[in-house]
Structure 1
Amino acid sequence: MNYPHTHPSSTRSLLSGRPSSQDSTHSRSTPSDISPPHTVPDGQLSGAWYSTAELACLLRVDPSTLRRWRTAHPRQGPPYVPVTGRVVLYSARDVEAWLVERRVTPGAVS
């Protein structure tokens, strides 16, 4: 969501934690001892995130399949993050790792 008083590239730089080219043109200065909020050590926030509908499209399954996997006991499907009661996100890295774990190579010894 872009607000009328913010430039899209400056909004992106706030979310990514990286300075944009526009940031260097502003005369605002910040103390060097302030670190970015909520730093994630493994860089998860810098990767891609998928909604249920987006991931369902990529996996070629119905979104209800992902919902069913999340509510199954034991849980099935790729790891997910429940952001709110209605919003669930999937990390592209987690989805890729889940797919690699499920890969079947014909003729390979199990």
Structure 2
Amino acid sequence: MSHDIPPPPGSAPDDARLRGALSPAEAGRYIGDFKVTTLERWRKRGIGPAYVQVNGKSIVYRVSDLDEWLAANVVRPGESGGAV
């Protein structure tokens, strides 16, 4: 997995670097063995984890965004609003 992509020469500071950027296939495996087509469908529907669109075409996912999405979707059994 490509967890740390070096910034190109003359690039912007840290937040613009794609630190920990994963391809859709890597991101799918990271969050639980989801297929690329599932992530694609989620993007089209406006759901799922945040992603970065590079040069108007390529899609990458930052590990920090995937971790945030996973944390936001934790279900604690026995608490109200949890899945049945």
TM range (shorter): 0.7 to 0.9
Give the corresponding residue for 1:106.
Answer: 77
Determine which structure has more spread, i.e. the larger CA radius of gyration: 1
Deviation, structure 1 residue 88: 0.2
**Fraction of identical pairs, as percent:** 28
Of 55, 61, 66, the match for 2:34: 61
The TM-score with structure 2 as length reference comes to: 0.73
Q: Please state whether the residue corresponding to 2:61 is helix, strand or coil.
A: strand
Aligned-residue Cα RMSD (Å) equals: 2.4
Equivalent positions of 1:1-110 (< 5 A) are: 15=7, 37-40=11-14, 43=15, 45=17, 47-58=19-30, 59-72=32-45, 75-110=46-81
Q: Which has the higher contact order (CA 8 A, sep 6+)?
A: 2
Deviation, structure 1 residue 109: 3.4
Structure 1 gaps, min length 5: 1-11, 18-35
**Residues 60 and 71 of structure 1: CA distance in aligned 2, closer, same or farther (over 3 Å):** same
Runs of 4+ residues deviating >4 angstroms: none
The TM-score with structure 1 as length reference comes to: 0.57
Aligned equivalents of 1:100 and 1:48: distance in 2? 17
**Residues 63 and 55 of structure 1: CA distance in aligned 2, closer, same or farther (over 3 Å):** same
Q: Please state whether the residue corresponding to 1:103 is helix, strand or coil.
A: coil
- Report the count of equivalent residues: 75
**Residues 56 and 46 of structure 1: CA distance in aligned 2, closer, same or farther (over 3 Å):** closer
